[in-house]
Structure 1
Amino acid sequence: MSSAPPLGLIGIGLLGSVLAQRLLAGGFRVVGHDLDPTRRDLLARDGGEAVADSGEVFRRCRRILLSLPSHREVTEVLTAHASTLQSGSILIDTTTGDPASAAALAHGLAVRGITYLDATVSGSSAQVRDGIAILMVGGNAAAFQDCADLFSKLGGEAYHTGGPGTGAKMKLVTNVVLGLNRAALAEGLALARGLGLDAEQAFAIMSRGPAYSRVMDRKGEKMLRGDFAPEARLSQHLKDVRLILQQGQAAGLPMPLSETHRRLLEAAEAAGLGALDNSAIIQVLGPTAGGPAKE
C-alpha cells in the first residue's frame, strides 16, 4: 500500500464501492464515508478505511472522489463542510448531472482555491470493476494531469473534455447512444419472443451480425434470463434521460427517440422496476420479454 496521502471517497454505493476496489487494488489508501453503515462496512471489508464523519474525509485527504446520486447531494455535502474544505484540494465528482450545475460548482469552489473536476464515467459498475469503463473529465487541465495516476486505475481510458461542465455534457451525449442501444436490444428480443422465435438464437444472430453493439455483452444475458440485479439502476438512467432532454431543448434540438425512451422508462418506474438494473426496461415491452421463453 502506498505511503502517499490517502484518497477520499464520499458515497459507497454501486459505483463508489467499485471505484474504491479499483483504487485499493492499485495500491492507494482510501478513506471513505457513506450515510449507510452497511456501505461503510463494505469498504472496510475491501481494505479501505471507513469513517462515520464525512468531514474527516475532507480534513485528511487532498484528492476526494464524490460518488453521489445527483448534484443536489453533492451541493448538500459541500455546503455542510464548507469550513472543512481545504484550499489546494481536488474534488473529483463522478455524478451524472446537469452540466450547468457542474460548471457552477467548479467556479464557486475555484475562488476558494479548490479545484472541481466533473469526472463522469461511461460504463456500469461491473465495467468499472473490470477496468473497461471510460472517464470523461471536465475542468482544470493541470488538475486532470495531477489525477492521471488514479484515473489510470479507475478505467480503460480517461479523456480531458475541456472546461468545467464538459465532462457532464459528454456523459449525456454517450448516454443517448448507450440507452437507445439498450432499449433497441430489449425491443428486438421482445419481438423475437412475440413472433415465437427462439430468443437466445435471435440474440446470437444479432451478436454476430451488423446489429451488434457492446451493450449486448453486458445486458443481453440479463434480459434473456430475467436477471435484473442492478449494475446501474433504471431510475438513475431515467434521471439521465430527463437531463438529456433538457440539454436538447436548450440546444434547440428535437430528440424524438429520447422522448420515447423517457416514456418507456417512466412506465417501467411506475411498474416498480426503478431499483432494478436498467436492462429491466424489457419488462415493459411484452409479457414474456424478460425471462425464458414459454414452451
Structure 2
Amino acid sequence: MTTVGFIGLGIMGGPMAANLVAADFDVVGHNRSPAKTERFVARGGRGASSVEEAVKDADVVATMLPDSPDVRAVLTTVFDHARPGTLVIDFSTIRPDVAADLAAEGAERGFRVLDAPVSGGEQGAVDAVLSIMVGGAAEDFEAARPVFDALGRTVVHVGPTGAGQTVKAANQLIVAGTLELLAEAIVFVEAHGVDTAAALKVLGGGLAGSTVLERKGGAMLARDFTPGFRVELHDKDLGIVTAAAREAGVVIPLGAAVAQLVASLRAQGDGGLDHSALLKLVAQLSGRPGK
C-alpha cells in the first residue's frame, strides 16, 4: 500500500485526501487547524500533528495550500524530513516561477516534484472529478498516475515544471471572466422582470452554457455565496495571472478589468464569500439588491 503524506485538509484538500483513502491509499494527513485533521481521521485517514510526522515515512507527499509562501515553507520542511526519492505533488495554485524554483531545489536534494493544480471546485474535489494539469518530468507524471486517477477525471501532462501552474492561471482567467459575465446577465434579466431560473435553463442549453453556469447559476439566483472557492483566493490567482501576463508581454484587457472587480469585492470585506459573489458587486454597481 502506497503511503501518502497529505498537507492541507481544507475545502479542497480534505475531500481529496478522503478520496485517496477510499482508493485504498494509506494517507497521513496534517492541517494547521487540528479540527480539520480530526475530521479527516473520522473519514478513515491517519492524523499527524506536524508536517514532519506526516511525511517521514511517505512514498508520496501531496500539498494543497493557499499561496506560494505557504507552499515554499511546507516544502522546505518536506525536503528536510521526507526520504530522498519521494514523489512530491503540489496541488496548490501558486506562481509558475515559484513552482519551477521549488522543483529545482527538490531535484538537487533527490526529490521528484510535480506542480499539479486542479480545477473543479469543492464539488469536483468531493466527487473525484477534478481536472488536473500537471507540470514536470514525464516519468514522474506516470509514477503519480494512480494518485491522480483517484482524484480527477481529466488528468493531463501539460509540459515541464511550472507548466501546470501556467495552465491553471489561464483557467482562473476564464473562470473569473465567465463568472463576471454570468453575474451581469443575471442582473440584466432580473431588471427586465424575466423569470431568471427559466432564463438560465435556456441559456445553459445553448452556446452560452458552461460548467460555471451549471454549478454557480442556481446559487447566484438565491444569493447563496457559501464558499466553495473564496473571493480572496481568486483575487490571489488573478494577481498571478496579471503578473505572468506582464512578464510575457501579453495584454489581457478583459482579464485585468475582472481582476480589479474581484479585488474591489475583497476590499469591501467579502473575501470570505464564494467567488460567485461577483453578482453582489454587479448588483451594487447597478443600484439593485445584491442580497
TM score, norm. by length of structure 1: 0.94
CA distance in 2: counterparts of 1:141 and 1:289, whole angstroms: 51
CA distance in 1: counterparts of 2:33 and 2:140, whole angstroms: 30
Q: How far did residue 252 of structure 1 move?
A: 0.9
Counterparts of residues 1-295 of structure 1 (less than 5 Å): 4-287=1-284, 288=288, 290-291=290-291
Distance 1:63 1:253, change over 3 A: same
Q: How far did residue 112 of structure 1 move?
A: 1.0
Identity %: 32
Q: How far did residue 26 of structure 1 move?
A: 1.3
**Conserved 8 A contact 1:193-1:289:** no
Secondary structure at the counterpart of residue 133 of structure 2: strand
CA distance in 1: counterparts of 2:139 and 2:79, whole angstroms: 24
**Conserved 8 A contact 1:245-1:259:** yes
CA distance in 2: counterparts of 1:18 and 1:290, whole angstroms: 31
| 1:107 partner amino acid | A
| 1:244 partner amino acid | V
**Conserved 8 A contact 2:57-2:82:** no
CA offsets 1:134-184 (integer angstroms, 9 cap, x no match): 111101211111111111110002111111100101111122112211111
Unaligned runs of at least 5 residues, structure 1: none
**Conserved 8 A contact 2:79-2:109:** no
CA distance in 1: counterparts of 2:224 and 2:124, whole angstroms: 17
Distance 1:81 1:213, change over 3 A: closer
**Conserved 8 A contact 1:119-1:138:** yes
Distance 1:16 1:201, change over 3 A: same
Secondary structure at the counterpart of residue 228 of structure 1: coil
CA distance in 1: counterparts of 2:290 and 2:26, whole angstroms: 41
CA distance in 1: counterparts of 2:175 and 2:78, whole angstroms: 35
Secondary structure at the counterpart of residue 194 of structure 2: coil
Secondary structure at the counterpart of residue 272 of structure 1: helix
Secondary structure at the counterpart of residue 18 of structure 1: helix
CA offsets 1:104-140 (integer angstroms, 9 cap, x no match): 1001110111011001102102112122211111012
CA distance in 2: counterparts of 1:163 and 1:263, whole angstroms: 31
RMSD, aligned CA: 1.4
CA offsets 1:239-292 (integer angstroms, 9 cap, x no match): 11111111111111111111110111112112221111111111000145655x
Unaligned runs of at least 5 residues, structure 2: none
**Conserved 8 A contact 1:189-1:289:** no
Q: How far did residue 222 of structure 1 move?
A: 1.0
| 1:243 partner amino acid | I
CA distance in 2: counterparts of 1:114 and 1:29, whole angstroms: 20
Q: How many residues are treated as equivalent by the alignment?
A: 288
TM score, norm. by length of structure 2: 0.95
| Worse-matched range after superposition: 208-217 or 60-69 | 208-217
Q: How far did residue 76 of structure 1 move?
A: 1.1
CA distance in 2: counterparts of 1:75 and 1:177, whole angstroms: 27
CA distance in 1: counterparts of 2:198 and 2:79, whole angstroms: 56
CA distance in 2: counterparts of 1:58 and 1:235, whole angstroms: 29
**Conserved 8 A contact 1:223-1:290:** no
**Conserved 8 A contact 1:7-1:61:** yes
| Worse-matched range after superposition: 24-33 or 193-202 | 193-202
CA distance in 2: counterparts of 1:79 and 1:106, whole angstroms: 11
